[in-house]
Structure 1
């Protein structure tokens, strides 16, 4: 049986470097399972590495994709047969942009029946990152104010929904007014246009002249650097993305201030966390989804995995909602 695989052998524009190949699914080894992936989202964190933004992290050739949902089709020695047919999130294996992924069974997160594939395939990168930032990295609570740029993104909407859960106030920065009403409905306290020269003054006004407790930068470059002037004297900025493709010059931006800038790497937390910690975080996220306190971004379009190049064009064209790749 042949399975489709999306792979790239060099960095560059996805339309030029991505190739569709076929291979036989791997037989799972001891402690492993083979998962037939049914749906996976296209996230910026999937596409940015293809263009070469993080060459030191990627070993070529590579298969893109960090998350998805599928069904266990084979188990290796030492794995209970009861896992066969279970719907899971196949995490921490090879990239998910392929029909079959072989992973360690301990990194398979069972998906409750009342969570559909469209939601389930998005339950890792953005929700877990946002949850860990709020609870562990920043320890946000009542009285704190969090500024989030690119707030109309999938993760920006999650930070808005987590604000009433943790008790912080969120100031959402966007480039388009079309996100304003939804972000306010989801839980943001304020929505400002991040491109306006007066955005710092508006944030100071909203925080009684103090500035925000912390900020989340998903953009990088000059847009990220602007956040330094929007947080308190000893505030914290977490860098979690590079949507602009341009690294921020943080050492220059924070010169003469006490503002701390730190990167947040989900993979680092995964590497250092115990199985119990891993399971506990997903338990929290899954419960919030089941209780309808946390919703993933709507689906904007669906494409077959083999139509990946057209799917990426759609995802980056400004389409409303998440683009999925289906098998």
Structure 2
């Protein structure tokens, strides 16, 4: 932080997340003072840079739909948000966590995290896992989501939080699971009421215990290469280093 009102002058010179401010691609960002979240000294820059939307969404979903002693099914298991959901579901006492993946080079990483990998090509395994799941967190939409939802038992929860396929979830007759739509922005008023510092007080320890997979850092001038990395199946999460523009 380079400038702050008198009430936050102690944060000048410290690292903060300038949340909900305009100008994501700017080297200097203005944000409301109460949305400037101080980053603990022990949190590395590359973890702090990715501490907002995906970790906050995963933590919020796990608070709304607790997973202790439950069987959890994730779709889009190679995505950042799904990775947080899987890691933290395990640490919060889930009985079993299964993850549906597309790219084969995600399989070993899921195994290492303790998530049972299921290929999108293995429809039989997806249907079996869906029948066993107590909670499903779906990032895909489309046909996979429909298969999962239609096979889940009564008194289970299907949480739709993404549409990576670009296709909606068609809910047919006879669906027994409870369908929930989750969008992070719907929960911002509650988080703002509690204070963003309080919300992140829960997230920092989770990130310390189970940090995200290492990203690949690109100088800002290499933004084309960063986009190519993001589109590559199984590619590392890209981060643009805007300090190179200074």
1:323 to 226, 238, 246: 238
SS at match of 2:134: strand
Residue 54 of structure 2 aligns with which residue? 126
Larger radius of gyration: 1
Residue 192 of structure 1 aligns with which residue? 118
SS at match of 2:66: coil
Does the alignment pair 1:176 with 2:97?
A: no
Using the TM superposition, give the Cα deviation of residue 276 of structure 1 relative to its aligned residue in structure 2, in angstroms: 3.2
Residue 159 of structure 1 aligns with which residue? 85
Question: Do the aligned residues in 2 keep the contact of 1:270 with 1:278 (CA within 8 Å)?
Answer: no
SS at match of 2:89: helix
In structure 2, C-alpha distance between the alignment counterparts of 1:203 and 1:322, rounded to whole Å? 28
Question: Do the aligned residues in 1 keep the contact of 2:34 with 2:196 (CA within 8 Å)?
Answer: no
In structure 1, C-alpha distance between the alignment counterparts of 2:230 and 2:83, rounded to whole Å? 17
Using the TM superposition, give the Cα deviation of residue 323 of structure 1 relative to its aligned residue in structure 2, in angstroms: 0.4
Question: Do the aligned residues in 1 keep the contact of 2:72 with 2:133 (CA within 8 Å)?
Answer: yes
Using the TM superposition, give the Cα deviation of residue 319 of structure 1 relative to its aligned residue in structure 2, in angstroms: 5.5
Does the alignment pair 1:73 with 2:2?
A: yes
In structure 1, C-alpha distance between the alignment counterparts of 2:136 and 2:32, rounded to whole Å? 35
Unaligned runs of 5+ in 2: none
In structure 2, C-alpha distance between the alignment counterparts of 1:279 and 1:230, rounded to whole Å? 40
Number of matched residues? 241
The 4+ residue runs of structure 1 with deviation greater than 6 A are none
SS at match of 2:2: strand
- After superposition, where does 1:196-275 map in structure 2 within 5 Å? 196-203=122-129, 211-250=132-171, 252=172, 255-275=173-193
In structure 2, C-alpha distance between the alignment counterparts of 1:295 and 1:180, rounded to whole Å? 18
In structure 1, C-alpha distance between the alignment counterparts of 2:191 and 2:89, rounded to whole Å? 25
Residue deviations 1:49-79, cap 9 Å, x none? Answer: xxxxxxxxxxxxxxxxxxxxxxx12224x54
In structure 2, C-alpha distance between the alignment counterparts of 1:221 and 1:248, rounded to whole Å? 5
Residue 112 of structure 1 aligns with which residue? 40
SS at match of 2:100: strand
Residue 295 of structure 1 aligns with which residue? 211
Using the TM superposition, give the Cα deviation of residue 241 of structure 1 relative to its aligned residue in structure 2, in angstroms: 1.1
In structure 2, C-alpha distance between the alignment counterparts of 1:274 and 1:157, rounded to whole Å? 25
Using the TM superposition, give the Cα deviation of residue 201 of structure 1 relative to its aligned residue in structure 2, in angstroms: 4.6
Q: Which has the higher strand share?
A: 1
Residue deviations 1:289-325, cap 9 Å, x none? Answer: 33xx211121124231x54344223211236311011
Question: Do the aligned residues in 2 keep the contact of 1:300 with 1:319 (CA within 8 Å)?
Answer: no
Question: Do the aligned residues in 1 keep the contact of 2:157 with 2:179 (CA within 8 Å)?
Answer: yes
- After superposition, where does 1:96-111 map in structure 2 within 5 Å? 96-111=24-39
1:311 to 211, 219, 226: 226
Q: Which has the higher helix share?
A: 2
